[in-house]
Structure 1
Amino acid sequence: MQSNKCTFLEVFMANKYKYSRTIVIGHKDDGTPIRKYIQDNNKARFEAKVRAVQMLVARGGTPGKVTVEQWAWQWYHTYKEPHVGESQRNNYEEHLRLRICPAIGFLALDNVKPFQLQEMMNNARTSKGKPLGASTAAKLHYITHAIFEQAEINGLIASSPFRRIETVGEDEKSRRALTRAEEQIVREVAKRHYAGPWVLLMLDCGLRRGETVPIGARDVKDGLLCISQSVEYKTKSNQPTLKSTKTAAGARYVPIPAELQKQLDMKSRYFFHIGNGRMLSMTKMRRMWHSFYRACDIAAGAELYRNAVVKHAFDPAITPHYLRHTYCSNLRRQGVDLKTAQYLMGHADISTTANIYSHVTEEDVRELQV
């Protein structure tokens, strides 16, 4: 009969660590239980350790070595969590919880084979069970590569097994600039729609969606718009939190058309706000865009039945980012040099601007015809 008395080591662990647990991982020949002591002051790391040991025991593994799940969470808490915003933290945690840990988390870190990593990439799915898009698959590839690279740097493994692993993801529809016809519809609708000035800030000034939220009268001076802040939205509260621009290069001055400036309330702290004067919530911003898109769809000739759109005439894939992309394409058409365009767009890497500049449409080719 096993004794329920705690050993001295268990009592010591309980006093030293915030979270502690003892798991029986086997028995000796004489029936004496073999215990694995788990402890940590961080709840997420502690739970990861417990799950890793339980999975190893269930699958006949041998606890004692660092598992992928243990190191993956340690890597995240050390190298990423302190340095990224909440939306990025949620993204990292989703990849760890849904894809990496369930697939390879139970494996000993120094015993992972390349084929197991490739299988993980091949079988990765979204939370709804669908194949990953190209950008999500690329993010998973980056995270997994970084986990094993840091493990090698820290001497936990002799060399990283994450080499020549292929990214597997479905092609996504790339963002593009609006066509001339689409841009004309957007500008016509903007003249009468309440969200028109907000849309034109992205179309005529190249602002990112998050950069439009904290913009106010104090940011306009002598025909220039000072962009120095952006916002991120907390998943639970749906409320904006001020942060710096996406990159250091995002802080910039851009010209603002005089006609657009006249449409803005130059006495308002925020040009676009909810009733009590606070910055737009994510819900309000989405409603603004959906309302504006619907107006464009109807203006383009969408078929309606009892006031519901049954057949679109305006591309449903168009998002606010298409407006910013159009701004960059218009800079190219106006002959603005690449370096200036990079500054106005707030791109940290000039190759990002160059990729947009290199997009030549059928309309551009037709303009060359004599």
Structure 2
Amino acid sequence: MTGTRKGRAGWHAGTVEEKGPGRYRWRVRVRYPDGTGERRTGTARTKTEAQKAIIDAQKEADDGKRRVSSSLTVGQMVTEFMEAKKATWADRTAWNNNALYERHVATALAHLKAAGVDARALRAYFKTLSEKRTDPATGKTRPPLGYSAQRQIHVLLSGAFKRAIGDGLLRENPAQHARPLSPSKGGAKVAAKVKHFTPDELARFAEAARLDRFALPLAFLAFTGLRIGEALALTWGDVHEDKEGGVYVSVSKTRSEFQGTYYEGSTKTAAGQRRVYLSPEALHVIEDMRGRVKVEAAQVDRYVGAGLQAHAPLFPSVDGRPMRQDVLRAVMRRTCVTAHVPALSPHALRHSAGTYLISRGEDPVSVAAMLGHAQVSTTLNIYSHALPDKLRGLAFGLADLRGKAEEPATPKTGEGEAKAGAAPLRRSSRKAAPRRKRT
């Protein structure tokens, strides 16, 4: 054993003890810049490595670097982070992060020591998510995880590492140097799916939806571009008329449900709180629903709704309760079959409305306000699809330009005379002003 000499720096400030062949235990008491101290200890293969470990521990303490936790696992780190953020997260966000953790993080990273996870390990993990893999819990083959979901996992892991660093349990955040690759940079490329209807398909869908009592909310989505949660959160008190007689709905909240629980909160962004004016077709949907609710409130047994009162839902079930999103999704599939259009999700109706308005040449600023986008660039990036009819029209436009370029240009005044041999027009020159004498 090597003794300690008081007041000396270097490895002499600690002790090194041989515990067996190829195993040396070292101990040293370090002091941090804030005046606090702690005892550091560890093992090494040789005495020289143990002495170097003592010196490194002293340097780290002088720099304010505290030791990392050797027992904290990734599972503990992430679950503690989610529990701490539960009070500030929206219910939907908390549920979504918990589902991502259980499905994709727990089985691959939860058992690892958090201090031992580096950027290389995280890159390999995201690469695995981008490929087909077997779920060890269920034995089923999982398809490649999309880039958006991988980004959400990265945000979750990065937040958990940052919190552990703030608590003094870790020193570095490997997620800063390991990010999922987007498809444009070599990441997993998922086959593009049709996410909107063509104008003709949207018209057929809206006509079929208007004939079905349960599909009336879908027809309303097609005419207004609202999100499904925004439409189901509307009440009869949200329908207004301005001074000029224009009818609009006031969008200020959203409604959703998952795992059997209903949630109602504010819109996705502050820009989501808006007025959406109704076309005659959208207003007809509301009037149709008004008549049906009036009859159902009087005739349906065990009616539990509030009828046409201001706080009652605009699109209720037959018994008066708010309509559920999963029910509306089932109705969406049925209506797509009836209309002979591709089977898409209810959100595709919002996508289709935005795409149609942009392709028709409507003002992007107005379309963004109608859809509740905070930035016009969001509207243009998501909804400015090149529809086939638009492309054909563009081709004709180019042909017209080429045809016009071949036609002789009409001569301007004086130009014909120049061609006939007349003297060309010259620009009159102006004499320079006299120079000033230097004083």
TM-score, normalised by the number of residues in structure 1 = 0.70
- Distance in 2, matches of 1:283 and 1:177, equals 20
Instruction: Give 1:325 shift.
Output: 1.1
- Partner residue of 2:317? 274
Pick one of 169, 179, 195 that aligns with 1:165: 179
Partner deviation per Cα, 1:50-91 (whole Å, 9 max, x = no partner): xxxxxxxxxxxxx95322222111111113x22233332222
**1:76 paired to 2:94:** no
Alpha carbons 2:215, 2:331 under 8 Å: kept: no
Confirm whether residue 137 of structure 1 aligns to residue 180 of structure 2. Answer: no
2:73 is aligned to: 67
Q: Is the 8 A contact 1:213 1:280 kept in 2?
A: yes
Distance, in Å, in 2 between the alignment partners of 1:175 and 1:245 is 26
Checking the alignment, whether the CA contact within 8 Å between 1:289 and 1:320 is kept in structure 2 is yes
> How far apart, in 2, do the equivalents of 1:357 and 1:101 lie?
36
Determine the structure 2 residue equivalent to 1:206.
Answer: 225
Which structure exhibits the higher relative contact order, with contacts defined as CA atoms closer than 8 Å and separated by 6 or more residues?
1
Distance 2:214 2:319 in 1: 18
Deviation sequence 1:247-300 (CA, Å, 0-9, x none): 222111011112331332446332321222110123422332122122112xxx
- In structure 2, C-alpha distance between the alignment counterparts of 1:365 and 1:226, rounded to whole Å: 36
**What SS does structure 1 have at the residue aligned with 2:141?**
coil
Tell me the SS of whatever aligns to 2:320: coil
Counterpart Cα distance in 2 of 1:66 and 1:315 = 49
Query: Aligned letter for 2:389?
Result: E
Distance 1:193-1:98 versus aligned 2 partners, 3 A rule: closer
Secondary structure of the corresponding residue to residue 359 of structure 1: coil
1:256 to 275, 278, 281: 278
- Relative to structure 1, is the Cα distance of residues 147 and 214 closer, same or farther in structure 2, using a 3 angstrom cutoff? same
The structure having more radius of gyration, on CA atoms, is 2
CA distance in 2, matches of 1:97, 1:199: 33
Match of 2:355 among 329, 336, 340: 329
Partner of 1:230: 254
Counterparts in 2 of 1:356 and 1:253: CA distance versus 1, 3 Å: same
Match for 1:141: what amino acid?
A: H
Write the distance in 2 (CA, Å) between the matches of 1:183 and 1:92. 34
Pick from 248, 251, 262: which aligns with 1:240?
A: 262
2 CA distance for matches of 1:74 and 1:362? 51
Matching of residue 100 in structure 1 with residue 113 in structure 2? no
In the other structure, the counterpart of 2:369 is 343
Flag the 1:99–1:187 CA change in 2: closer, same or farther, 3 A: closer
> Quick one: which amino acid aligns to residue 342 of structure 2?
D
What CA distance in whole angstroms lies between the structure 1 residues aligned with 2:329 and 2:195?
Answer: 20
Unpaired runs of 5+ residues, structure 2, are: 1-19, 21-68, 182-186, 242-246, 295-307, 398-439
SS of the equivalent of 1:83 reads: coil
**2: CA distance, partners of 1:358 / 1:286:** 25
How many Å separate the matches in 1 of 2:89 and 2:352?
Answer: 29
Q: 1:355 aligns with which of 362, 376, 381?
A: 381
Contact 1:227 1:250 in 2 (8 A): yes
Kindly tell me: are residues 73 and 230 of structure 1, through their superposed partners in 2, closer, same or farther at Cα, counting changes over 3 Å? Answer: same
Deviations along 1:236-255, whole A, 9 cap, x unmatched?
A: x2x53322112222111011
Letter in 1 for 2:371: M
TM-score (norm 2): 0.60
Q: Does the 8 A contact of 2:230 with 2:254 survive in 1?
A: yes
Structure 1: gaps spanning 5 or more residues: 1-28, 30-62, 298-313
Q: Return the offset for 1:195.
A: 4.0
Aligned 8 A contact 1:240 1:279 in 2: no
Cα deviation, residue 112, structure 1: 1.4
**Compared CA separation, residues 72 and 181, structure 1 to 2 (3 A):** same
- Give the direction of change, closer, same or farther, for the CA distance of 1:89–1:169 in structure 2 (3 Å limit): farther
Deviations, residues 343-368 of structure 1 (Å, cap 9, x unaligned): 21112343321213432222211233
Partner of 1:291: 334
Matching residue of 2:37: none
> What is the CA-CA distance between 1:158 and the residue it aligns to?
2.5
State the Cα RMSD in Å. Answer: 2.8
- SS class of match (1:336): coil
Q: Deviations over 1:296-340 (max 9, x none)?
A: 12xxxxxxxxxxxxxxxx323x22111111211232234333222
Q: Which moved more, 1:283-292 or 1:200-209?
A: 283-292
